[in-house]
Amino acid sequence: VKRVRIPHLLELKERGEPWPMLTTYDMYTAELFDEAGIPVLLVGDSASNNVFGYDTSLPVTVDELLPLVRAVTRSVKRALVVGDLPFGSYQLSPEQALATAVRFMKEGRCHAVKLEGGKHFAPHVQALTRAGVPVMGHIGFTPQSEHNLGGYRVQGRGDAGDDVVEDAIALQEAGAFAVVMEMVPAEVAKRVTHELRIPTVGIGAGPDCDGQVLVWQDMMGLRRGKSPRFVKRYANVADVMLTAASEFAAEVRGREFPAPEHSFH
């Protein structure tokens, strides 16, 4: 099997072929998504509120995230694995960003890292790419800044669309190999996608991005309750698991499980 590498993603952009990206945080999902042909897997800081039980993406730490990154990289044969730098682990300075990214590459063994922020983070991106660490940017709505952005809301409406374009170009010039755009108007995402040489990856950013990313627990319906507008639910994993756990509980209580075929004599 041939590993996905960055030039492959640039070729897809040149050919106008859109590509999928999913989050993943453990062995089985990594194996399955790799087998399904998802070329890029993100160990997102969304593990904070999808694995670790925090209520936002802010609390998760590097020490919590790194074992998940390592589990995913151990489990894939083909996918390019991106490790997401958590809040507070890179914002202080380009030096801090590089120190954290080095841990992700050495201990997590991922193939690239992602960090949030536009033009103000160009120096951080440049420090990493110059040191040999590929960087995926993330602009528009950036969950680590949710308190500053006034909650989950679309970014780049009206005149602010120009800021999104400016941020994307700054990241590209700093050496980023791709840019995630979260919750920006489709028209703005389309403009950015046309202006950039590097691929854009959309989440709530319309159909014209080069790639599309979703959090797997959202798109497979493991997380219950109301989803944001940009999530499409492709399965109902929560229902499958709830039914299985309930049946198991009922069969144990009813002395139906284990049956003779599950026992040794």
Q: Which of 107, 146, 182, 256 is catalytic?
A: 182
Residue selected from 34, 84, 167, 210 as contacting ligand KIV according to rule CB under 6 A: 84
Nearest to 139 by CA among 172, 114, 167: 167
Q: How far apart are CA 255 and CA 148, in angstroms?
A: 55
Q: Which stretch binds Na ion (CB under 5 A): 78-86, 87-95, 158-166, 195-203?
A: 78-86
Residue 182 within binding range of Na ion, rule CB under 5 A:
no
Stretch that binds ligand KIV, among 44-52, 126-134, 169-177, 237-245 (CB under 6 A): 44-52
- Is residue 193 a contact point for ligand KIV (CB under 6 A)? no
Euclidean distance between the first and final Cα of the chain, in Å? 44
Query: Which residue, 75 or 212, is less far from ligand KIV as judged by CB?
Result: 212
Which residues are within 8 A (CB) of 250 and not within 5 positions of it... i.e. 6 or more apart?
A: 256
3-state helix, strand, coil in the chain (%, to 5): 45, 15, 45
Tokens of 194: 């046309």
Residue number with CB closer to ligand KIV (75 or 217): 217
Q: Looking at the annotation, which residues are catalytic? A: 182
Q: Which residues bind ligand KIV (CB under 6 A)?
A: 23, 42, 44-46, 84, 138, 180, 203, 213, 215
